[in-house]
């Protein structure tokens, strides 16, 4: 497999590796020009990293030694740039490590990155979607938005819990369990009048949003698809757990059921708004009611946490 043109432009004379080894990365000493030697080093490091994430006969046991050889060859900022650029078949090295299920290589390379540029972050999101890996998606914070992260920090609010459970692969069913901390406080101070969450399931990246509808003054729940996700036909219901405010209450309260189903609309499927074919919609929405602003609502626990479960069946 040949590298793309971007990688080839930086390659004057890449070393030949018949077998992958952990030898130090060396370049020709014949050049008296430092910039040319640095260019050769970059090409050699990219070639080594490409083998780490793509070579079919690469041994996982040699990951650490090879990555360390790359780290010695280049300054940290240069190496971080190489790892996070779309320079291997149009994707980043991190993307290929995820897609090829090379977790050891992924974490070894990820430790050497200082930040994710936008293109890299988008590439990682796509890799998590392709591999249906919600755990890694959350671990890398790929669904976190700076504004929401900043608001949680200002309120001293811990990170929310979002878990995806595949219930029945034959019937394409999955559940998303959410614990949204300080729910009411955050809805009251949110500057954009919404609380927004993302998760990976069914080979797609989804969003679930609680949004204040200005025309009614009421909060609604919305579900939709994020960019690059294929269209979906679904029936879903959002169950919001009820909590008794009275101590010693033995009778369990009934959960609030919010249907989010295509069956209740005239549309054929759900799709991302940037590529919305005729007959499809970008979101399914339903009003929650006015309980969101009630201080004594039963739909948050005594700590202000909203416990919900989204049950989805793909049609």
pLDDT tier at 16, thresholds 50, 70, 90:
very low
Output the pLDDT for position 215. Answer: 80
Phi, then psi, of 87 in degrees rounded to 5 = -120, 10
Sign of the torsion formed by the C-alpha atoms of 43, 47, 49 and 53? positive
Of 179, 174, 160, 286, the closest CA to residue 240 belongs to 179
Tens-place pLDDT, residues 226-272: 999 999 999 999 999 998 766 666 567 899 999 999 988 999 999 99
**83 CB neighbour count, 10 Å cutoff:** 26
Tens-place pLDDT, residues 278-309: 999 999 999 998 899 898 899 999 999 999 99
Separation CA 315–CA 313 (nearest Å): 6
Select the more confidently predicted residue: 292 or 18.
292
Q: Do 239 and 311 form a contact (C-beta atoms < 8 A)?
A: yes
Dihedral in degrees, nearest 10, Cα atoms 122, 158, 134, 164:
-140
Helix pair angle (34-54, 76-84), 10° resolution: 50
Q: Provide mean pLDDT across the span 14-31.
A: 51
pLDDT tier at 213, thresholds 50, 70, 90:
confident
Of 88, 70, 62, 79, the closest CA to residue 25 belongs to 70
For the whole model, what pTM was predicted?
A: 0.85
Select the more confidently predicted residue: 106 or 295.
106
Lowest mean pLDDT among 62-71, 211-220, 262-271: 211-220
Q: Do 233 and 262 form a contact (C-beta atoms < 8 A)?
A: yes
């Amino acid at each position: 497999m040949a590298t793309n043109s971007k990688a080839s432009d930086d390659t004057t004379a890449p070393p030949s590796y018949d077998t992958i080894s952990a030898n130090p990365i060396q370049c020709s000493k014949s050049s008296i020009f430092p910039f040319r030697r640095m260019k050769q080093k970059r090409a050699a490091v990219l070639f080594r990293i490409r083998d780490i994430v793509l070579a079919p006969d690469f041994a996982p046991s040699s990951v650490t030694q090879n990555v360390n050889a790359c780290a010695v060859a280049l300054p940290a900022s240069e190496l971080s740039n190489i790892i996070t650029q779309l320079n291997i078949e149009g994707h980043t090295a991190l993307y290929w490590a995820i897609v090829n299920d090379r977790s050891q290589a992924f974490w070894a390379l990820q430790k050497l990155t200082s930040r994710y540029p936008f293109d890299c972050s988008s590439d990682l999101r796509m890799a998590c979607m392709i591999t249906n890996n919600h755990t890694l998606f959350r671990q890398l914070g790929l669904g976190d938005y700076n504004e929401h992260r900043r608001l949680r920090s200002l309120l001293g609010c811990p990170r929310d819990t979002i878990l995806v459970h595949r219930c029945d692969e034959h019937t394409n069913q999955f559940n998303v369990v959410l614990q949204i901390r300080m729910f009411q406080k955050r809805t009251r101070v949110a500057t954009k009048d919404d609380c927004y969450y993302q998760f990976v399931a069914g080979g797609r990246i989804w969003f679930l949003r609680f949004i204040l509808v200005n025309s009614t003054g009421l909060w609604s729940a919305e579900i939709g698809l994020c960019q690059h996700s294929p269209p979906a036909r679904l029936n879903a219901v959002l169950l919001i757990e009820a909590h008794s405010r009275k101590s010693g209450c033995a009778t369990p309260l009934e959960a609030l059921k919010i249907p989010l189903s295509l069956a209740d609309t005239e549309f054929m499927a759900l799709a991302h708004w940037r590529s919305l074919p005729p007959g499809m919609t970008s979101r399914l929405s339903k009003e929650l009611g006015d309980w969101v602003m009630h201080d004594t609502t039963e739909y948050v626990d005594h700590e202000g946490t909203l416990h919900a479960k989204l049950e989805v069946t793909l049609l």
